Each structure stands twice: as C-alpha cells, then as structure tokens.
Amino acid sequence: MPEPDQVAPVAIRARRRTLGVPGKLAVGWLLLVVIAALLAPVLPLDDPNDPVGSIARQGPGTDGHVLGGDGLGRDLFSRLVWGARASLLLSVSAVILGIVIGGFLGLVAGYFRGRFDTLFVGLFDVLLSFPQLILALTLVTVLATGEGVSSTRRMVVLVFALGVVSIPVLGRIARANTLTWSQREFVLAARAMGARHRSIMFGEVLPNVLPAMFSIALLGIAVVIVAEGGLSLLGVGVRLPTPSWGNIIAEGRSELRDAPHVVLAPTVAIFLTVLALNYLGDVVRSRLDVRESAL
Amino acid sequence: MIGRREHVTRAPDELRPYSRRLLEVDDLATHFTTPRGKVRAVDGVSFALERGRTLGLVGESGSGKSVLSRSIMGLLPGNVERQGSVAFEDHRLDQMGPAELRSFWGTQIAMVFQDPMTSLNPVMRIGRQITEPLRFHLGMDRREAEKMALALLASVNIPEPGRRLRQYPHELSGGMRQRVVIAIALACGPKLLFADEPTTALDVTVQSQILDLLRTQQRERDMAMVLVTHDLGVVAGHTDEVAVMYAGQIVEQAPTRTLFASMRMPYTAALLQSIPRLANASHTRLDVIAGRPPDLLDPPRGCRFAPRCPYAQDRCREEPPPLQEADEPGHVYRCWFPVGTERGQEALERNLAAPVPQGVDG
C-alpha cells in the first residue's frame, strides 16, 4: 500500500552531522591526548623519573629534549605525556563514578518521584554544599597520607574525593531529564504493554537521558582536571614522583623565574584540554536541543 | 454523589451468551485528588462489551473518555481514587495488584495512543520496540520474535518491513509510526484493544486508512475494541455501538445506527451539528456548542449539560436525569426533554421564544 507522506529526512541529518573546524580541532586535540596517554609505556620516551643533570631547568630543544627538562633534569615532554595518563585516569574515573551513582539516583528520583525524589534531591544538595577542595584535602590527608600508602590507594581516594562532587551534578541532570522523559507517552505505552518499572527505567528512559548526562560529563572531566591541579598545589594531588599535569605545575612553581617552561607546558596542556572539553560539551548539548525539538 | 449506583437497565444476562461477554464495567468512578479538591473525571460509568465488538467512546476534551479507558486498564497515576468494578472475562481487574495487572497488559488488553510521535521511543529501533513484548510475554527467542515482528509489520500494511525493523521512529512518517504502534499493541494477541484517539494526530488522508486497518485487524482477530475519539464522524463507520460521554458520565449509548437515526440527548445532537459539512457554502459559520464543559470539581446539581443546553428547563437545572431506556433495544440516554420527542420539542420552542438567549453558561 503506498503511503503519501513518506519523507526521507536524510538531508537534514547529513547537515547536522558536520562538526565545523573548531569542533574538529577539539576532537583532534583530545584524541591526541588520549592516545598519547594510553600509549605512554610503548612510546619512545625518556624515563619520566630519570634525572639528567645536564638538562635541568634547560628550555625546549636542549640536547634533543623537545620541551627541555624540569628542575631535576627529567624530560619534560615525557613527564607531560605520563602526566596526561594520570590526569585523565583520575578525571575520567571520578566522572564515571558520578555517572554511575548520580545517574542511578537521579533516574530513580525522577522516575518514581515522591519519597525517593525528596530523599535523593536532599542528598544531592548536601553533597553539593561540601567545599570540594577541603573535602578532598581532608579525605586524602586522613586516608592516603604517610609512608606506607601506595600510590594506587592515593589514586582511589582522589577519585572518590573528586567524584563525590560530580555525583550531585550528574544526578540532578539525570533527574531533570528523567522527569520529562518519563512523562512521555512511550513510557506509558511500555507500561500498557506490561513492562516492568526496572526495564522501563533502564531500557526506555535511560537511553534518552544519557546524551544530556554525556554533555555534562565532558564539562565534569574538565572541572576535575583543574581541581586536581589545585590539590597538587596543596600537596595532596597524585603522589610524587608519578607525574600528573597538576603536580608538574606544583613542582615547577618554585622555579617559575628560572624555568618558566616547566609550568607553562602543563598549563597549556590543561588549558587546551579544558577548552576542547567545554567546547564539545556545548556542541553535544546544542545537538541535543535540535534533536528534541525536531521530534 | 460518590458511590451512588445508577444501574443501566440491560437485557437480562441469559439473553446474551455468557462466553461472548468480555468486559463489564459497573459504576466506575475515578477521582483525582488535587490541591483544589476532588476532580470527578469519571463519575459512575457502566457498560458491557462483547468479544469482537467495537464501542465508540465519544466526547469533547475533558469529558473523561481517556481517563475512563485508563481506569479500566488500571493505568493511573498515584493521586487517584477508583471505585466500582471492572470485570474482564472472569477476572476482576479492579481488585488486582500491580504485578497481576501487568500480566494482563499487552497480552490480554492493549492500548494504542494518540500521538505516534511520542508513543514510540525515539532512541530505539522499531524492531526492538516490537520484539521486546514478544520476548518478555511470550518467551520467544530473538529469531522467532524478529520473524513475528516482520509478519506483524506486514499485517499492518507497512511496505519493506525488513528495512523498517532497523529504522528509528524519526525515519518514518506519522501514518507509518501509528501503524507501528498498532503492530506493537497487537503483538501479543490481546482480546481487547483501547484505541485512544488513534487518528487525532494524523493527516486527514491517513486517518481513514488507520481506522480501516484497526477494523480489519479487529475482525481477523475477533478482538474487542474501545475506540475513544472526539469525532462522531470517526465512530459512524467504525463502531458497533457508541457511548457519548459528558462531564464524566455516559449521557447516551446506543447501537451506532440507532444513535445516528434517533439520538435523544441534546448533547449528542449538538456534537453532530458541530461537524462541518462539505455541502455548506464556504465561510459558513461553524456550529459550536456554546460555553464550556462544567468544572469537574463541582459539577452542576442537575443535568450536567443543562447550562449549555438549548432544551434546558428548570427541572434540568435541579434534578439529575437518570439513564433511561428509549424505544429501541440497547438505547439509553440521560435527559428529561429528549430530542425528537414532543416534550423535547416543546422545551426547545419555549426556550427559543424566551427573550433571554438560553444555553450560555455565565
């Protein structure tokens, strides 16, 4: 039977798929950072913790060291790449913690409303009102400082300390989106077909809520990268000598006058990464709005 | 008003073979608790439906027709009080818990919603939306379910069903989407289908295709259907019986032919008049029903239509008319001065002769 009103929406979609030059640059930079971080052990890099006296405090290009050496003469480029590994691992894990816990609580609150909503929204408010740096400082000091503490344990505590704040942020986004999506008729339709609440929540509502959470998660990763820098300056960041962008800056701080490139390189890396994440977060969000209004 | 029982006088049960009766709703009332008070969205509705038959449920927005179909299924939000009984075959739906009701939804009773744009999940492929209930309720494995989904899509006249299974809802037109919604509702072979304004959101050209499709499917499957609509034109060709709802009550019910041939209720007549006719000259003023439906927080004391009724007399404003039987079998109505009778004619003439225009509420 012929249908008079079949329209192929291909043209519209094709236009929306393009990212634009800034978007491509952002994706390119992030890919570069992620690949470098993942491949750090196999890349032909100098040992990031091996001091070579001759390049201490020497600027970029000295003796074939692309970015020169830091205060102790360790290869700065190598430390930057290994630092990306620590910084990304920390920030992505912290945000995943927020996505999983915050997403779950937000989904339950928004779907069932009533008591769950009151309880979880209250919990989010409490979590949001913790001063993040003080909380992280306290947790790291109490749980992961001292001689016998492994750097893995330090990392786990940091992930938790920084992730706690992303729980309410992502939880609220999940809740707000769940509230609107679960009013949609397809949820009622799924119920009318006899589906269970659990499968409606995770099967029908969650896939619609995830894109919004994803855009906030990108911003969240940026926030955590910066926060890790702050913690490093306070001396409770990723455990030395393991490099992270934050503690490279923290170490280079004292020699800012003699060797500004030590602070500059990780700062630029953080700047570009945060900028790219924020930009892509906005792209994802605006893409989302378009899709919702086009429905 | 709550709990008042108004029995519809029906033919004695032994005249209808029991096995044919599928759904029996008795004195169903649904009240929403709101900050302003109790909203009586459905207020004492009784009717019965046999297997394979279609009941049209007609009324304007806010008359309670959608709430009625959801009350029967038990698909209601939390702030709701429901009274009365709903019997489906030998089961009392009104006394079931959520888990038991869920076992009826989809397999015994299904629903088609108004807007196919919103009643399909935008991020899920058509195929998964159809196969999910098949796998969940009928325990089919993936391949069986996919084969069944193909057959279902073909049976609702969707071209290239194989390709559609892999598409997302936004890639389909409105009419196609509604066909998909119908295919999903029919997937587990329900005995009763609620179609809640299934064509309201569609192009006029597609509307009759969808209605015809529902009709054929229903005949082939011996499935009963409740067709909820605000459009008397829709029920005319597609139902066996029509119940007209106003302010939460059934105000007239009759076999479709009888209703259109000899309607008794002024509201039904007014609804029919408000359908624009092609034969009219262009720019003819549309006949509208003056005023608005009553506030369901505090419905009028007498007949609920009285404030807008051209036939209304003092008695109508004081005393609520009961459902009474007309001459034809199965025809009931709720009116003191019915259309097409001497009493009604007199009432209308009296109102027309009165100096103040009647029928407009405040």
Task: Note the pLDDT tens digit of each residue in B30-50.
Answer: 998 888 888 888 988 999 999
pLDDT value of residue B208: 87
H or E segment and range at residue B252 = strand B249-255
The angle, 0 to 180 degrees and rounded to 10, between the axes of the packed helices A206-233 and A245-252 is 20
Nearest by CB to residue A208, choosing from B123, B174, B206, is B123
ipTM above 0.85? no
pLDDT value of residue B357: 54
Has residue B206 got a pLDDT over 80?
A: yes
Alpha carbon distances (Å) from A57 to A49, A62, A155, A262: 15, 10, 29, 8
* CB A219 within 8 Å of CB A284: no
d(CA B82, CA B38): 12
| B199, two tokens | 């064509």
B184 with A204: Cβ contact below 8 A: no
Nearest by CB to residue B170, choosing from A207, A208, A295, is A295
* CB A245 within 8 Å of CB A225: yes
Top-confidence residue, B1 or B253: B253
Q: Which residue of chain A is at minimal alpha-carbon distance from B187? A: A193
Residue A21 sits at the chain B interface (C-beta within 8 Å): no
pLDDT value of residue A69: 74
pLDDT value of residue B288: 78
Mapped onto helix, strand or coil, the DSSP state of residue B324 is: strand
d(CA A183, CA A111): 9
| A146, two tokens | 């001292």
B114 with A185: Cβ contact below 8 A: yes
C-alpha torsion sign, points A217, A223, A226, A230: negative
- B3 CA: distance to closest CA in chain A (Å): 28
pLDDT value of residue B8: 45
Has residue B54 got a pLDDT over 90?
A: yes
- A108 CA: distance to closest CA in chain B (Å): 16
Q: Nearest 5°: CA angle at B231, between B226 and B232?
A: 85
| Interface probe, candidates A186, A187, A199, chain B, greatest B C-beta count within 10 A | A186
- B216 CA: distance to closest CA in chain A (Å): 15
When pLDDT is averaged across residues B280-290 and rounded to a whole number, the result is: 76
pLDDT averaged over consecutive 10-residue blocks of chain A (295 residues)?
46 58 90 90 78 72 71 81 90 94 94 91 90 85 78 87 89 92 90 90 91 89 89 83 86 82 88 92 75 46
d(CA B247, CA B301): 12
| Interface probe, candidates B121, B134, B186, B193, chain A, greatest A C-beta count within 10 A | B121
Q: What is the pLDDT of residues B117-157, one digit of tens each?
A: 888 998 899 999 999 999 988 888 899 999 999 999 998 88
Residue A4 sits at the chain B interface (C-beta within 8 Å): yes
- A58 CA: distance to closest CA in chain B (Å): 55
Q: Whole-model pTM?
A: 0.80
Residue A9 sits at the chain B interface (C-beta within 8 Å): yes
When pLDDT is averaged across residues B194-202 and rounded to a whole number, the result is: 87
A248 contacts: CB under 8 Å, gap ≥ 6: A70, A76, A79, A80, A83, A262, A263, A265, A266
| Interface probe, candidates A185, A199, A204, A210, chain B, greatest B C-beta count within 10 A | A185
- B8 CA: distance to closest CA in chain A (Å): 29
Give, rounded to a whole angstrom, the gap between the first and last alpha carbons of chain B.
Answer: 24
Nearest by CB to residue A185, choosing from B110, B119, B174, is B119
A204 with B124: Cβ contact below 8 A: yes
Has residue B102 got a pLDDT over 80?
A: yes
Q: Which residue of chain A is at minimal alpha-carbon distance from B70? A: A192
User: For strand B21-34 and strand B80-88, is the pairing parallel, antiparallel, or unpaired?
Assistant: antiparallel
pLDDT value of residue B356: 58
| A36, two tokens | 């470098």
A195 with B111: Cβ contact below 8 A: no
Weakest mean pLDDT among A188-202, B83-97, B275-289: B275-289
Phi, psi (deg, nearest 5) at residue B92:
-90, 100
Give the burial string for B333-354 (b: 16+ CB within 10 Å, else e): bbbbbbbeeeebeebbeebeee
Chain A contacts of B173, Cβ < 8 Å?
3, 5-7
C-alpha neighbours within 13 Å on the C-beta side of residue B95: 6
In chain B, % of residues over pLDDT 70: 93
In this prediction, residue B19 has a pLDDT band, given cuts at 50, 70 and 90, of low
- B298 CA: distance to closest CA in chain A (Å): 28
Q: Which residue of chain A is at minimal alpha-carbon distance from B169? A: A295
B159 with A1: Cβ contact below 8 A: yes
H or E segment and range at residue B225 = strand B224-229
Residue A20 sits at the chain B interface (C-beta within 8 Å): no
Q: Which of residues 183-222 of A touch B (CB under 8 A)?
A: 184-186, 188-196, 199, 203-204, 207-208
When pLDDT is averaged across residues B15-32 and rounded to a whole number, the result is: 80
In this prediction, residue B355 has a pLDDT band, given cuts at 50, 70 and 90, of low
Nearest by CB to residue A5, choosing from B105, B136, B206, is B206
When pLDDT is averaged across residues B289-304 and rounded to a whole number, the result is: 84
Phi, psi (deg, nearest 5) at residue A155:
-60, -45
Q: Which of residues 111-130 of A touch B (CB under 8 A)?
A: 114
A3 with B159: Cβ contact below 8 A: yes
* CB A191 within 8 Å of CB A200: yes
- A180 CA: distance to closest CA in chain B (Å): 12
CB-CB neighbours of A17 under 10 Å: 7
- A263 CA: distance to closest CA in chain B (Å): 45
B136 with A295: Cβ contact below 8 A: no
Question: Scanning the structure block, which residue is given the tokens 């079931």?
Answer: B96
Q: Is A67 exposed, middle or buried (0-12, 13-18, 19+ CB in 10 A)?
A: buried
Q: What share of chain B is helix, strand, coil (3-state, %, to 5)?
A: 35, 20, 40
Alpha carbon distances (Å) from B147 to A19, A41, B135: 39, 50, 12
Question: What's the alpha-carbon Rg for chain A, to the nearest Å?
Answer: 23
A194 with B113: Cβ contact below 8 A: no
pLDDT value of residue A187: 92
d(CA A60, CA A66): 5
Chain B contacts of A188, Cβ < 8 Å?
75, 113, 119
Chain A contacts of B209, Cβ < 8 Å?
1
